[in-house]
Structure 1
């Protein structure tokens, strides 16, 4: 490979194929390349033996290289699932290798957002139950349901509201407050009259105590 920047003019899958062919005919071992930029380009070329045939086989949009890479990454995740491997462990190792090869601290690189899945089962005659999965792993979740439909009495509503607000983390409490201030369907809550949906915060004197 004669240039440390073989990807400068790459725009299509055909361009990538040309870079692959040039690299194959003039193969360079990245571990023996003194120029760090050239070594990184060589490592990128090594991936082309997978990317180019994949893009050609899947009839991808040859002008949309981002989609080609995203589709390949998605299918690699499917492959990991079939092999019983943890994709997030694979990704962490890949980030570590990439960090070592680029001189970046992989521990400070932004992590890939995990896939979050929720299974909600609603009983028309009972409560809704939810199961939460992060990266395919079930996790314990606290569910807060604000449903001001028929059947609520004001005192029961307040007890549930106050319990939820007390149990929630600060960030979730702020979200709950925004919904509790004017819950949809609130007209069906019986016995509220003109009471505020959210009790005013207690006033504090100069010493910071309630008065």
Structure 2
């Protein structure tokens, strides 16, 4: 599934629900929904749901919030149930496309919509560690051999020349969310293996 399409689906369902409940545009505030706190429960390991929420600070007089939302959701083919949670009465809908809709009465009322589950998009920690395990020793070996003079000696500090480059590459990868886990894995794998091997090489040169 295309995450951008799922995000549009979430936004469309929020907009349609607010319109059906006649909620003024200036009466809502974006609300960051935390899975398991308000709204649908977190998905199983390995999957995620794109979520968006709105806090409804004001309703027109006489508005039946649950009635209007339930009618709209049922017209769209949702299975609608009403429950009572720690935050008060709640209305939950599951539409045919797998979107979850959750409305709490408040005050303030909160509307949360979650997309159908999709695989985690960011799984780079393992590959990053594997790459670091390779690059750490490789950088150490290149620094070590490049530092040897004709007599077989050299500066023990020079075997650490690879470390700033690893930190630079890993730091740049940490900036972007899409590569953050890979960058963290690269730093972990490279630091553990490279530092151990560089320490051994430095000890050999000092001895």
State TM-score, norm by structure 1: 0.20
| Larger RCO, structures 1/2 (Cα 8 Å, 6+ apart) | 2
State TM-score, norm by structure 2: 0.20
Higher strand share: 2
